[in-house]
Structures are given as C-alpha cells and as structure tokens.
Structure 1
Amino acid sequence: MDNPWSGVVSLEVDGVKRAMSLTLGALAELEAALGDDTLVALVERFESGAFSSRDVLALIVAGLRGGGWDVEREGLLSAQIKGGPMGAARAAAQLLARAFLLPEERRA
C-alpha cells in the first residue's frame, strides 16, 4: 500500500491497514483544522522535532481522509495505532515529507 512515488503512506489502525495521502482536499481540511497556524509552521515543527500530539493527530486524520477513509478526529482518539504514539508520529512525518517533495526527490 505504501507508495513513495505518489505520496501514499500506510498506517495500521485497529488492526486494519489504511492508506493515507495528503490530497489537495486533505491539505485544505488540514489548514482549516490548524486555524491561524500554517502548513509552513507545521512543516517547521516536524523538521525541528518540536511537533505536538495535536499536530500528529491532525495530519493522520487529514491523511486518512485523503486516502479515502471518512474518519473524524474523535474517531481516532481511542483507536489503536500500530507502533503507538511513535508509530503515529513517524507515519505523520513521512506523510508530510512525501506531500511536499518533488518527484525526483522521493525515495522509499
């Protein structure tokens, strides 16, 4: 399911492997969820390691919705994510990186 060339990252939620993708619509929803915050600030927080659990959850929700799963933030609050909080953070960072890399920069 993972496809670095198209920006897809897989995440196992409650034992089901799901595709995540930051489509244009998912990015617009992410911006709305961030409010006054910006995508640039979000990227900077991930690059510096200063991201929050709110950042991770917002990215996961946007990515899952972009991947085709109609999920809401509240639906993930008690979900079991493979790898726990670190697995979720790793997947969120990978998703964000793949969304903004040029095709020739993408690697597995």
Structure 2
Amino acid sequence: MAITQRGEIDAVIGGETRTLCLTLGALAELESRLQAGDLVGLAERFSAGRVSARDLTAILGAGLRGGGNAITDDDLARFAIEGGLKGAAEIAARLLKATFGDAA
C-alpha cells in the first residue's frame, strides 16, 4: 500500500496493484534517460504537458523500480494498463504530482 507522505502512489499495472515512487535514484535515472540535466529540467519538461510514449515508459518504469518492483522497461511495455494510453498518462501525472506537487 502506498504511503502518500513519501510520494508513493498505487496503480494497477499488468493486472496487479503496484506501488510507484520517484525516489532520488529513480529521479537520477529519469534525468539521465531523458537528458533533462537536473530536477528543474525534469519538472519543466513535464509541466509543459507534452509527454511522449518514451517519456511515459521512462516515468512509469523508474517509478515502479523506485517503488520496489523488479521490472524492466521491456517488461512494462508488455503489461496491460487499465485505460490504455490515457490510463498510463493518468498514472504518470499522479506520480509526478506526488513527487513535485502542483509544479508538475
């Protein structure tokens, strides 16, 4: 079960409720993978509201691993997400809000 005070959320991914969290390690992974440079760069990128499928995979994958799930991005790509692309975007938005607050 997610602890919201720690920036965790729960989401159904691959038919299972999983905890996602953008820990410092997960954020460092995102900075590197998305070539954002720093946390401000990540927040600015996501607050612009333009997110690619690659971004969604990176956000959800990093969040899953930060939440303690041993899942690769390739594993994630094979999982069904309730609501499809829209559902994935909603999960990513909830996770970013839990991490960055209203700035994301």
TM-score by length of 1: 0.80
Q: Which residue of 2 aligns with 1:13?
A: 13
* Native 8 Å contact 2:11 2:91 kept in 1: yes
Q: Which residue of 1 aligns with 2:52?
A: 52
Post-superposition Cα deviations, 1:51-84, rounded to whole Å, max 9, x if no partner, equal 1111111000000000000111111112101221
Percent sequence identity over aligned pairs: 45
Q: What letter is aligned with 2:26?
A: A
Deviation at 1:98, TM superposition (A): 1.3
2:29, 2:46 → 1: CA distance?
19
Superposition RMSD on alpha carbons, in Å? 1.8
Q: Which residue of 2 aligns with 1:37?
A: 36
Q: What secondary structure sits across from 2:7 in the alignment?
A: coil
* Native 8 Å contact 2:43 2:100 kept in 1: no
Deviation at 1:92, TM superposition (A): 0.7
Deviation at 1:11, TM superposition (A): 1.5
TM-score by length of 2: 0.83
Q: State whether structure 2 residue 28 is matched by structure 1 residue 28.
A: yes
Consecutive unaligned residues of structure 2, counting only runs of 5 or more, are: none
Post-superposition Cα deviations, 1:2-53, rounded to whole Å, max 9, x if no partner, equal 443221111212211000001111111122211x334434433432321111
1:47, 1:30 → 2: CA distance?
15
Q: Which residue of 2 aligns with 1:90?
A: 90
* Native 8 Å contact 1:63 1:95 kept in 2: yes
Q: What letter is aligned with 2:36?
A: D
Q: What secondary structure sits across from 2:6 in the alignment?
A: coil
**Which structure has more helix as a fraction of its residues?**
2
